[in-house]
Amino acid sequence: MSERPRERGRHSLLWPGLALPGIVWLCLFFLVPFYVVLGVAFGTVDPLFLTPQPEWNPLRWDPHAFEFVWEGLASGGGFRTVFLRTFAYVAIAVAISLAIAYPVAYYVARFGGRFKGLLLAGLVAPFLISYLMRMLAWINLLQEDGWVNAVLMWVHVLDTPRTWLDGRASSVILGLVYGYVPFMILPLYAFLDRVDRSLLEAARDLGASRFHAFRLVTLPLSTPAILAGCVIIALPMFGDYYTPDLLSGSPNTSLLGNQIDLYIRGGQQVPVGAALVVCLMLLLAVFMAYYLYATARAERRLGR
Amino acid sequence: MRRWLANAWGKPRFLLLFTLAYFAWSLVPILVAIRFSFNEGRSRSTAQGWSTRWYWSDPDLSVRNDPDLIGALSQSLTLAAIAVAVTVPLGVALAVGLTRWRGRVATASRFGSMIPLVTPEIVMGVALLLVFVHVFGFIPLGTEAQAIGHVTFSLAFVLIIVRGRLLSIGPEYEEAARDLGASPLQSLRLALLPLLVPAVVASAIIVFAISMDDFVVSAYLSAGAATDTVPVRIYSTGRTAPTPALNALASLTLGVTILIALVLFVVWRLVRRRRGAEDPTAEAFAA
């Protein structure tokens, strides 16, 4: 008994001690890098070598790069088009993804029956196939002599082969939907699988048709899952640059991610790229906070 | 149509058709890409006979004989192995620490550790590139920097999986061990860790898969062709690749990924059966 207090003291240090290496890691390689992005965004460029000169002291920050972005956002500016295009593509792609993901998740969750294991394996399979390989598959199919043109000409939708990989918004949006829809189906499935069946039975017993029961019970219950699914695929879409590069490669479909990539790796105006990263984070902060809040709430339910 | 929808007792047939169509749309392009990798000819868009030329026998352009291609595969596997070896212990300790440790600092750290999960990859790629160039100059771009990046973005996944398991286990087992005279460390090692084994294996599968899948961080922190991973290779030559060797590389990578994930999955099933425990890991991850 006499040992107890001393042991408690050690006990209370055990947990922070276990967490410490991970926290230090995240500080070094997540928190510090963010500050460096700010430093570069508010820094200057060496006039001779064109290398960025980060400014670590917030009192001496130079908003030059942000002014450049701001001017580009004025009407007629280049960034305005890109921002609007990014919003449009992401909104369309998320809407199409939801239209695909919800019915599929709903069917597997409610009517999977004895094939549920197999269907689930099919839903998880895309997670093991690298995103870039899935884009490569579509590059193969969308070539001028590829199978998409062959099929479309065979059913007489097209008379001559179309160049799909030449700056078409439809190809980029197809790529985004194809690439991200699995990440929406799985959380939706996980939620729909847990919906209390007795609620549906009660609705049916009280005279609701299957469609009404769905609309009045399942759909309202799944609203948080729908929102979380939309957010979790919209976030990476906002930073995507490889999908437009691979499926279009034209400045006509350039997204925010392409601009960041261009300025960061193009060399001469790295601060502008860093400023765009800061703008992107500010833009997405609400969505990110919503998702983290929703996850924390789900965890609290699990812990109870 | 309305009557058909309202059909009371049968399974909704149009939903079945929709789901099957989704599976076809989702998997057929991949199968087609794999099929082209076995092409006899050089086309990547039409079927031209069968051969393993682009995997094995072509003297210059096959995956086996093109150092860029085989190098990309080995770089991907190296990074995935390092990521699993570092992230899993780091993440498990972080999850246990943050879950059992109470207080305001713990809550803030818990919230902060989840932010990488919702950060777009390009933000992380740019941030890491700039930090390695301007601050941590002693860590060279290439394998070292890429491995650090992979650990950083996969840490949050381990945290979610292990935390989900910890919350469902509850603190009772450790308290029982403590009451029976175990020291805190002993109770952790003898009571908690064995219960966490399924979550640890699940974390290893996820970390391996997302490391193999990663493109942006690997691309930003690559030091040139020698440290390009498979996705980076696909990005840089996907539009212009002259032969199906790139398809062969992608198919091979997919095969290796599935094989390793399958082995880990079998391990997971075995330990789970031996523990005989209900495991909410998958659901916790999906949520």
The pLDDT tens digits for A92-141 are 999 999 999 999 999 999 888 888 889 998 898 888 899 999 999 999 99
Distance of residue B59 Cα from the nearest chain A Cα, in angstroms: 24
Task: Give the pLDDT score at B239.
Answer: 85
Residues of chain A with pLDDT under 50: 1-10
Chain A residues in contact with B250 (beta carbon < 8 A): 130, 132-133, 136
Q: Closest approach of chain B CAs to the CA of A136, in angstroms? A: 6
Distance of CA B55 to the CA centre of its chain: 25
Q: Which residues of chain B are modeled with pLDDT < 70?
A: 1-11, 275-287
Please tell me if residue B164 touches chain A, with a CB cutoff of 8 Å: yes
**Closest-CA residue to A292 (of B283, B115, B286, B285):** B115
* Token pair listed for A274: 């860093």
Percentage, residues of chain B above pLDDT 70? 92
Question: Which residues of chain B lie closer than 8 angstroms to A39, CB-CB?
Answer: 134
Contact B131 A107 (CB under 8 A): no
Query: Quick check: helix, strand or coil at residue A57?
Result: coil
Identity at B31, one-letter amino acid code: L
The Cα–Cα gap between A47 and A68 comes to 17
Facing residues of A52 across strands? A45
pLDDT of A4 reads: 46
Contacts of B254 in chain A (CB under 8 A): 128-130, 133
- Return the residue matching tokens 């001690």: A17
Question: For the whole model, what pTM was predicted?
Answer: 0.89
Query: B119 in contact with A at a CB cutoff of 8 Å?
Result: yes
Q: Does A214 reach chain B within 8 Å, measured CB to CB?
A: no
Nearest CA in chain B to A259: B122
A9-45 pLDDT, tens per residue?
A: 445 788 888 999 999 999 999 999 999 999 999 988 8
Instruction: Name, in order, each residue with C-beta under 8 angstroms of B221's C-beta and a sequence gap of 6 or more.
Output: B125, B128, B129, B132, B141, B142, B145, B146, B149
CA distance A71 to A83: 13
Cα–Cα distance measured from residue A46 to residue A68, given in angstroms and rounded to the nearest whole number: 17
All structural domains of chain B, each given as residue ranges with its CATH number in brackets, are 66-286 (1.10.3720.10)
Q: Which residues pair with B106 in a beta bridge?
A: none
Continuous H helices in B101-239 = 104-118, 121-134, 143-169, 172-179, 184-187, 193-213, 216-220, 230-237
Query: Could you tell me if B97 lies within 8 Å of chain A, comparing CB atoms?
Result: yes
- Interatomic CA distance for residues A223 and B187, integer angstroms: 41
Q: What is the mean pLDDT of chain B?
A: 87
Query: Nearest CA to CA, how far is B30 from chain A (Å)?
Result: 6
Domains annotated on chain A, with CATH:
86-266 (1.10.3720.10)
User: In the structure encoding, which two tokens stand for residue A221, read together?
Assistant: 């219950």
Q: Which pLDDT score is estimated for B183? A: 85
8 Å CB contact of B109 and A19:
yes
**How confident is the model at residue B85, as a pLDDT?**
97
Provide the pLDDT for residue B9. 56
A292 token code pair:
């983290």
